[in-house]
């Protein structure tokens, strides 16, 4: 075998990049391998809400809270100082079911009692500029925004990270002393491997139930910065995170103002994995609702429409941890619509695993809930290598 790597991180999305950065920061030897290059998957075609408000109560909300706090720390003069932007968020309702979703949101944040709080709850007067269809608004403080590609680039900007792309991983064969990787250019050996391949995971590990869920987004031209000082999100977006989004009467629109003066507007949830499928009806529905609730948008032109594909799991939780029968292979995948938000914390904790250290004790139970072992049909008898 020509090359011997110490830790190989497979996948240069935001999760793989965050993991590699934490390994390199701790003096570890790490190589990142990607079939295309940084942010070629979901991390390059997504929104970037670092949000607790949108998470299901329980494990996800607790991990998102911890990740938000850690992201803020990394943004204070650290690696994410140019990537993470703190900003308020407004959730709005235009019909009864959305008002109920706002009630649940306020109750959830009160129960969490963490760094994200419902700061104000009232009528449309709470945010000047919203359209007349908006009945109620809840203002959230404490969250922020981070585009996936800028976070990925920031994490990878470290001289200790070896970059290997374009280089497709064809097979992963663990044994007692390490892992053999079959790449396009030949076979390499690694002591330990982190699988952060997003939707590339099930091809190599068919037992892991990761499936594609697409989402369409669009971007406007530039205008005055600051007219909308934070994200404006339909309460139906909260419903779409946990219920069948195709049954919603209105699209779960999110209007995110970018630092450039553009708006990033998304996003649908569709059960397919084709990033080239951008359909006019879905776009039109998103655009119409966005312009209704934020009428200033009608002065803007759409300059780009695109689709990204989330990696969804069977039980709605990411898959993170060593394979039960092959502990030198650590999985970090299945982040659906939450990977940007969770990347800082998951990167730090997966780096700990790759370096052979214990997880943060306060997070141990929540991290244990993400173990890939929960999908092993017959523990001890499955074939993990692809």
Element (H, E) at 109: helix 96-112
Closest distance between ligand FAD and the C-beta of residue 135, in Å?
24
Instruction: Please tell me whether residue 265 binds ligand FAD under the rule CB under 6 A.
Output: no
- Smaller CB distance to ligand FAD: residue 124 or 343? 343
Instruction: Please tell me whether residue 80 binds ligand FAD under the rule CB under 6 A.
Output: no
Binds ligand FAD (CB under 6 A): choice among 7, 20, 23, 34: 34
Rounded to whole angstroms, the Cα distance separating 382 from 195 reads: 18
Binds ligand FAD (CB under 6 A): choice among 5, 8, 9, 15: 15
358 phi/psi in degrees, rounded to 5: -75, 155
Nearest to 33 by CA among 46, 20, 44: 20
Instruction: Please tell me whether residue 267 binds ligand FAD under the rule CB under 6 A.
Output: yes
Per CB under 6 A, the segment of 12-20, 99-107, 242-250, 377-385 that binds ligand FAD is 12-20
Binds ligand FAD (CB under 6 A): choice among 8, 9, 12, 195: 12
Sign of CA dihedral 90, 98, 67, 168: negative
CB atoms within 10 A of CB 129: 12
- Smaller CB distance to ligand FAD: residue 188 or 196? 196
Site string for ligand FAD, 137-156 (x = CB under 6 A): -----------x--------
Residue with tokens 């079959």: 182
Binds ligand FAD (CB under 6 A): choice among 9, 41, 85, 283: 41
Contacts of residue 101, Cβ cutoff 8 Å, sequence gap at least 6: 91, 93, 235, 236, 238, 239
Angstrom CA distances, 94 to 70, 98, 249, stand at 34, 7, 11
Instruction: Please tell me whether residue 252 binds ligand FAD under the rule CB under 6 A.
Output: no
Angstrom CA distances, 384 to 84, 197, 205, 312, stand at 36, 15, 6, 19
Closest distance between ligand FAD and the C-beta of residue 290, in Å?
15
Site string for ligand FAD, 171-190 (x = CB under 6 A): --------------------
Rounded to whole angstroms, the Cα distance separating 105 from 241 reads: 13
SS3 call for 106: helix
Instruction: Please tell me whether residue 36 binds ligand FAD under the rule CB under 6 A.
Output: yes
Q: Which of residues 193-222 bind ligand FAD (CB under 6 A)?
A: 196-198, 200, 215, 217
Instruction: Please tell me whether residue 255 binds ligand FAD under the rule CB under 6 A.
Output: no
Rounded to whole angstroms, the Cα distance separating 334 from 80 reads: 23
Instruction: Please tell me whether residue 310 binds ligand FAD under the rule CB under 6 A.
Output: yes
Instruction: Please tell me whether residue 168 binds ligand FAD under the rule CB under 6 A.
Output: yes
Site string for ligand FAD, 322-351 (x = CB under 6 A): -----------x-x-xxxxx----------
Angstrom CA distances, 120 to 8, 105, 125, 126, 253, stand at 46, 12, 11, 8, 21
305 phi/psi in degrees, rounded to 5: -130, 140
Angstrom CA distances, 212 to 50, 196, 280, stand at 21, 15, 20
How many residues bind to ligand FAD according to rule CB under 6 A?
41
Per CB under 6 A, the segment of 91-99, 102-110, 308-316, 372-380 that binds ligand FAD is 308-316
Nearest to 374 by CA among 312, 321, 330: 321
Closest distance between ligand FAD and the C-beta of residue 123, in Å?
27
Per CB under 6 A, the segment of 28-36, 75-83, 284-292, 360-368 that binds ligand FAD is 28-36
Instruction: Please tell me whether residue 42 binds ligand FAD under the rule CB under 6 A.
Output: yes
In the complex, which residues of this chain contact ligand FAD (CB under 6 A)?
A: 10-16, 33-36, 40-43, 45-49, 148, 168-169, 196-198, 200, 215, 217, 266-267, 308-310, 333, 335, 337-341
């Amino acid at each position: 075998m020509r090359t011997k790597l110490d830790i190989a991180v497979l996948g240069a999305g935001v999760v793989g990049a965050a993991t590699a950065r934490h390994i390199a920061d701790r003096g570890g030897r790490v190589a990142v391998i990607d079939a295309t290059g940084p942010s070629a998957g979901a991390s390059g075609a997504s929104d970037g809400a670092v949000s607790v408000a949108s998470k299901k109560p329980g494990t996800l909300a607790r991990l998102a809270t911890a990740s938000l706090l850690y992201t803020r720390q990394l943004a204070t003069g650290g690696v994410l100082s140019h990537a993470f932007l703190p900003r308020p968020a407004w959730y709005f309702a235009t019909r009864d079911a959305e008002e109920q979703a706002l009630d649940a949101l306020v109750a959830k944040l009160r129960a969490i009692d963490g760094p994200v709080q419902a700061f104000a709850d009232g009528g449309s007067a709470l945010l000047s500029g919203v359209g007349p269809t908006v009945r109620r608004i809840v203002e959230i403080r404490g969250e922020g925004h981070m585009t996936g590609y800028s976070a990925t680039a920031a994490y990878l900007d470290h001289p200790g990270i070896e970059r290997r792309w374009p280089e497709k991983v064809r097979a992963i064969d663990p044994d007692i002393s390490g892992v053999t990787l079959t790449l396009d250019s030949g076979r390499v050996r690694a002591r330990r491997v982190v699988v952060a391949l997003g939707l590339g995971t099930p091809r190599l590990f068919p037992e892991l139930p990761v499936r594609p869920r697409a989402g369409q987004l669009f971007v406007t031209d530039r205008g005055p910065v600051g007219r909308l000082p934070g994200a404006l999100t339909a309460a139906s977006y909260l419903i779409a995170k946990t219920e069948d989004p195709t049954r919603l009467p209105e699209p779960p629109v999110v209007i995110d103002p970018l630092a450039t003066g553009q708006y990033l507007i998304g996003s649908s949830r569709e059960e397919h994995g084709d990033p080239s499928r951008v359909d006019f009806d879905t776009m039109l529905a998103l655009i119409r609702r966005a312009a209704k609730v934020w009428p200033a948008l009608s002065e803007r032109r759409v300059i780009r429409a695109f689709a990204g594909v989330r990696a969804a799991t069977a039980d709605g939780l990411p898959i993170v941890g060593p394979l039960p029968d092959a502990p030198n292979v650590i999985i970090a995948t299945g982040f659906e619509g939450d990977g940007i938000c969770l990347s800082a914390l998951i990167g730090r904790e997966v780096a700990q695993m790759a370096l052979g250290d214990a997880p943060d004790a306060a997070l141990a139970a929540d991290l244990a809930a993400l173990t890939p072992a929960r999908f092993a049909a017959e523990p001890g008898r499955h074939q993990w290598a692809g």
